Structure 1
Amino acid sequence: MCRFFINRLLIILLPGLLGACTSVGPGQLFRSTSPHDQYAQSLRSAHLEQTALGTDWLTTADRALKDSVLVNAPYRESGYFSATRPFALGYRLNGQRGDKFIIKVDVQGQESVQVFIDVFELDERNQDPNRMASAKADTNQLELEIRRTRTHLIRIQPELLRSGRYTLSISREPVLSFPVSGRDSRQISSYFGVPRDAGRRRHEGIDIFAPRGTPALAASDGTVSGVGTNNLGGNVVYVSDSRRNQTLYYAHLDSQAVRPGQKVSVGDTVGFVGNTGNARTTSPHLHFGIYSSNTGAVDPLPFVRRGTGPARQSLIAAETLGDSARVSAVRTVIRQSPNGDAPILRTLPRSSAFIITGGTATWPRVELPDGIMGYIASNAIEPARKSLRRASLPVGTDLLEAATLKAAVMETLPAGTAVDVLGVFGSYQLVRRASGGTGWLSQTP
């Protein structure tokens, strides 16, 4: 009765409180910098953080920052969240300076639901998350340009009291447009950092080969900050990309097509590919470099390499979400991330039972009865539907809601009750009654 009252209170209060979260300017109720922070503050302002649901929502948000999984773009997975249980997930991505990640969460449910998307940068030890960007309150997509080569953490969390099936997708695209017309990163044949002049210097850019006279293009909007000639680069052009506090360098041009101070847009011709300067003995190509105002020469490759395209992982069947499953192999392992090289969290023997919460068709994400969450290879599991054996209870036994002594007692089954054993977890048995309901027994029948 108390939980029902709290739920009703949340339903009544939250819409009004969240209406105050749509603006964060001076004089507004909340000044937090992200919709997630604003929502959390609305819970505290209404003293709802003292309720079980409110406390669990805040705790779940923090736990997602600690118990994240490592994925590689492009990646997608689906899952289900319930209105009765706060939910949040964290995903780690290794991002290079020049990458742009596109993160999208699509939700299907009977009611509209707000999903908070936040991206954090981790330090050199992959700790101390620092929030870098958040999706706007009215969108389910976030684009993030990586400014430092670090591990980044994506947290997704829906608001309270909403159920839905979600699909998370992550893809990677370059920050800049490719600087040679009709070419892409497959035409790069010399890379950043390669020794030059018997090791006396290093290559501070990439070389893109193309026929003489091919247009060299503005890779970003900007201003031409220099046009000239030098011994190494020959005919050169500098374009200031003030948005990113960096300068784009075009060298070995056959000729230039811009003047100092000229404004350029992405795709404008700044010159034509040639082999001037110290490239006279090589085939025509563009030397393309990027110089940061803070760090000097940086690797241009992540800025212009081909994007990953959309994620293509096959999604887990929707009808299996929330179902019980069990290990069908002699033994298998639950891993931290959805790949065979990820750290092992636990080894599970045959018939170990768990709940499928999401993932992909190849790597379902599961939750063990003790709360451990991870990924299991789909070829090692099966639905926990077919009975492993039929048993009759020798004495009256409590049917538990979960595989722990602290779990609520659903009912006490009298001696002689027939049950189907569907799975095991430690000393507990997952059983199904003749009526079709399932629960856990703390002793082997």
Structure 2
Amino acid sequence: MKNRSRYVLLHKLVSFAVPGAIVLLQACNGVGPATGLFRSTSPHEQYEQSLKSAKLDRTALGIDWLDVAQRALRDSLQISIPYRESGYFAAGRPFAVGYRLNAQRGDKLIIRVDIQGQKEGQVFIDVFELDDRAPANRPNLVVSSKADTNQLEWEVRRTRMHLIRIQPELLRSGRYTIAISREPLLSFPVQGRTSRQISSFFGASRDGGQRRHEGVDIFAPRGTPALAVTDGIISRVGVNELGGNIVFLSDNARNQRLYYAHLDRWHVTDGQRVSTGDTVGFVGNTGNARTTGPHLHFGIYSGGEGAVDPLPFIRLGSGPARQPLLAAGRLGDSVRVAVNQAFLRNAPHGDGLIVRSLPKTAALTILGGTADWLRVALPDGITGYLSNNAVETAARSLRQLTLNKPTDLVESAVPSAAVVDRLPAGAVVDVLGAFNGYQLIRQRNRMVGWIRL
């Protein structure tokens, strides 16, 4: 009863103290790529500050909310794009999850989080760059979703590992589905072609190793339109020895110049402003391509860096994520390992790193995942992915046990767990699972908890 009263009091405090901050958050336009000390604070940071201002960070729920936010940065899970999974968060237990993924400069990543819950509430989406020079719990914040939206799109500026953290505000419960996909940042530069028609890639050796290929080659019939891949200004139309008839298109929004070479002829002039899809010239084989078939050499030159790989900027998108979702009724279920040995992994596939080896009957809780790979939590809080084929429901009793002495029933399988009941000698219980010397049991009154024998 005392815990229930504290929960109700905290709910009233949050409802009273935090809405003012939420009004502020809803006026925020979100945060773009970090530019140093003077970037705007994110909606997550503003909400965190509102908790501290209301002294809610000193309550048990407030402390837990801040703690799981940091833990999601340290104990994130590895995924590959496109990906989607479902999950559940409970009002009385603060929740956050982190997903790590490799992202390349030139990608546009799209994150969508759909919530089905009793009350509308904020879900914070934050994206971080992981840098070996930064502490694990203080990665570089790149972009955050606006306070009033459940979708985030951003352009990847540097090729490296990124981390996506999803966290709902306090005292909200619901099911969610997160979907992450990738689209090219620029449109394709040859009409009627896709990245499947690229036949020579960035970095390939040229002239017997004297130089490297600073772009990609896209073969197409002579006269096929070469297209502006973004809005910009034509900064040069001319001829050079290697490229023949060439065009440079300045993409000032990204501080880069786009290079079109081996054109049969031009269709633009210096200083002309063009829009995405406009014809800048026509495919040919001028310059040093005279002995090859007609093709467009397309390159990207970034200010201060020189040539960069254009493939991520123009390759086909990943398409929508198609992983089969976990049935909603299984979210939050208790399960146990049904095979002699199962491996908890850091990614939802059989090649993921092994986090822990689990013996038969080890008890777990389903947090989310897909129909094939469950995201589960061990009783000690460790999370990861486990094949759905390796588990069974923990509702069915493994065996009955008669206690030979009075035994404490505790709420979790850790030494510091609170005692919730005292079971008398002679009590008969159903054993549902095990973990680290503890037994998960169910009493005749259907109460479930842990005992240590």
TM-score (structure 1 length as normaliser): 0.95
Tell me the CA shift for residue 307 of structure 1.
Answer: 0.7
Partner residue in 2 for 1:162: 172
Query: Match for 2:326 among 295, 316, 322?
Result: 316
Q: Deviations over 1:207-266 (max 9, x none)?
A: 000011111000011000011111211111110000110001001111110111111111
- The percent identity for this pair of structures is 63
Alpha-carbon distance between aligned partners in 2 of 1:20 and 1:132, rounded to the nearest angstrom: 21
Question: Aligned runs of 1:36-435 on 2, under 5 Å?
Answer: 36-124=44-132, 127=136, 128-435=138-445
SS of equivalent to 2:179:
strand
SS of equivalent to 2:350:
coil
Note if 1:14 corresponds to 2:18: yes
Tell me the CA shift for residue 63 of structure 1.
Answer: 1.2
Deviates more, 1:269-278 or 1:119-128: 119-128
Alpha-carbon distance between aligned partners in 1 of 2:132 and 2:221, rounded to the nearest angstrom: 43
Structure 2 residues without counterparts, runs of 5 or longer = 30-38
Alpha-carbon distance between aligned partners in 1 of 2:448 and 2:323, rounded to the nearest angstrom: 32
Alpha-carbon distance between aligned partners in 2 of 1:39 and 1:346, rounded to the nearest angstrom: 35
Deviates more, 1:409-418 or 1:129-138: 409-418
Tell me the CA shift for residue 24 of structure 1.
Answer: 5.7
SS of equivalent to 2:238:
strand
| Matched residue type, 1:205 | G
Q: Deviations over 1:316-335 (max 9, x none)?
A: 12111111100000111111
Alpha-carbon distance between aligned partners in 2 of 1:420 and 1:22, rounded to the nearest angstrom: 50
| Matched residue type, 2:409 | L
- 1:187–1:208: 8 Å Cα contact kept in structure 2? yes
- 1:226–1:239: 8 Å Cα contact kept in structure 2? yes
Tell me the CA shift for residue 340 of structure 1.
Answer: 1.7
Deviates more, 1:203-212 or 1:116-125: 116-125
Structure 1 residues without counterparts, runs of 5 or longer = 26-30
Alpha-carbon distance between aligned partners in 1 of 2:164 and 2:359, rounded to the nearest angstrom: 32
Tell me the CA shift for residue 431 of structure 1.
Answer: 1.0
Tell me the CA shift for residue 336 of structure 1.
Answer: 1.8
SS of equivalent to 2:313:
helix
- 2:98–2:166: 8 Å Cα contact kept in structure 1? yes
- 1:405–1:442: 8 Å Cα contact kept in structure 2? no
Alpha-carbon distance between aligned partners in 1 of 2:288 and 2:427, rounded to the nearest angstrom: 89
Partner residue in 2 for 1:5: 9
- 1:326–1:382: 8 Å Cα contact kept in structure 2? yes
Deviates more, 1:116-125 or 1:362-371: 116-125
Partner residue in 1 for 2:34: none
Alpha-carbon distance between aligned partners in 2 of 1:399 and 1:342, rounded to the nearest angstrom: 36
Deviates more, 1:260-269 or 1:2-11: 2-11
Classify 1:381/1:309 alpha carbon distance in 2 versus 1 (closer, same or farther; 3 Å).
same
SS of equivalent to 1:94:
strand
Alpha-carbon distance between aligned partners in 2 of 1:17 and 1:276, rounded to the nearest angstrom: 61
Q: Deviations over 1:342-376 (max 9, x none)?
A: 22121111101011111111110111111111111
| Matched residue type, 1:65 | L
| Matched residue type, 1:133 | V
Tell me the CA shift for residue 396 of structure 1.
Answer: 2.6
TM-score (structure 2 length as normaliser): 0.94
Count of aligned positions? 438
Q: Deviations over 1:88-125 (max 9, x none)?
A: 11111111111111111111101112110011111246
SS of equivalent to 1:441:
strand
Tell me the CA shift for residue 392 of structure 1.
Answer: 2.1
- 1:190–1:206: 8 Å Cα contact kept in structure 2? yes
Tell me the CA shift for residue 405 of structure 1.
Answer: 3.4
Alpha-carbon distance between aligned partners in 2 of 1:175 and 1:3, rounded to the nearest angstrom: 46
Tell me the CA shift for residue 378 of structure 1.
Answer: 1.2
Partner residue in 2 for 1:28: none
Alpha-carbon distance between aligned partners in 1 of 2:150 and 2:278, rounded to the nearest angstrom: 33
Alpha-carbon distance between aligned partners in 2 of 1:124 and 1:220, rounded to the nearest angstrom: 33
- 2:117–2:173: 8 Å Cα contact kept in structure 1? yes
| Matched residue type, 1:352 | A
Partner residue in 1 for 2:36: none
- 1:239–1:249: 8 Å Cα contact kept in structure 2? yes
| Matched residue type, 2:322 | R
Alpha-carbon distance between aligned partners in 2 of 1:51 and 1:322, rounded to the nearest angstrom: 25
Q: Deviations over 1:369-427 (max 9, x none)?
A: 11111111111111101110112222332222111232222222223222111101122
Classify 1:103/1:240 alpha carbon distance in 2 versus 1 (closer, same or farther; 3 Å).
same
Alpha-carbon distance between aligned partners in 2 of 1:2 and 1:293, rounded to the nearest angstrom: 57
Deviates more, 1:301-310 or 1:430-439: 430-439
- 1:124–1:150: 8 Å Cα contact kept in structure 2? no
Alpha-carbon distance between aligned partners in 2 of 1:2 and 1:179, rounded to the nearest angstrom: 61
Alpha-carbon distance between aligned partners in 2 of 1:411 and 1:56, rounded to the nearest angstrom: 25
SS of equivalent to 1:21:
helix
